[in-house]
Amino acid sequence: MSNTGKTYTEEFRRDAVELLRSSGRPISQVARELGVNVNSLRAWRNCILGQSAGESFGAVGDKGRAGASAEELMAEIKKLERENEYLRRQREILKKAASILGEDPQLGMR
């Protein structure tokens, strides 16, 4: 069995991945529109996005942190850990207040 697959230029592959990234459409739809195999487009995407970490390509929901340095990410983690601890303390205070306010006031006056 011979390999009858098409060969695509690097430019075509990059354009296809950019179209996939910017369109928001499913990979199967973009592959069908371009006339390429879904697995080929997926492999191109993984290869190009892996090479371009920190460039214009990024995962959905990354909020622009693709190019952040390790120090920036560690600072963000520390900030979120402090915020998390603060919110835990606030939750405990509210739980105690709710239990105090939920008690029968007549029980304490006997």
Return the pLDDT at 50: 77
In tens, the pLDDT along 68-92 reads: 788 888 999 999 999 999 999 999 9
pLDDT of residue 66: 57
Task: Please determine, for residue 55, whether its predicted confidence score (pLDDT) is greater than 90.
Answer: no
pTM for the complete prediction?
0.44
Dist. CA 32–CA 14, nearest whole Å: 17
Q: 90: part of which helix (H) or strand (E)?
A: helix 70-102
22 closest CA partner among 45, 2, 6? 45
The phi, psi pair for 32, rounded to 5°, reads -60, -45
Please state which of the ranges 22-26, 63-67, 76-80 shows the lowest mean pLDDT.
63-67
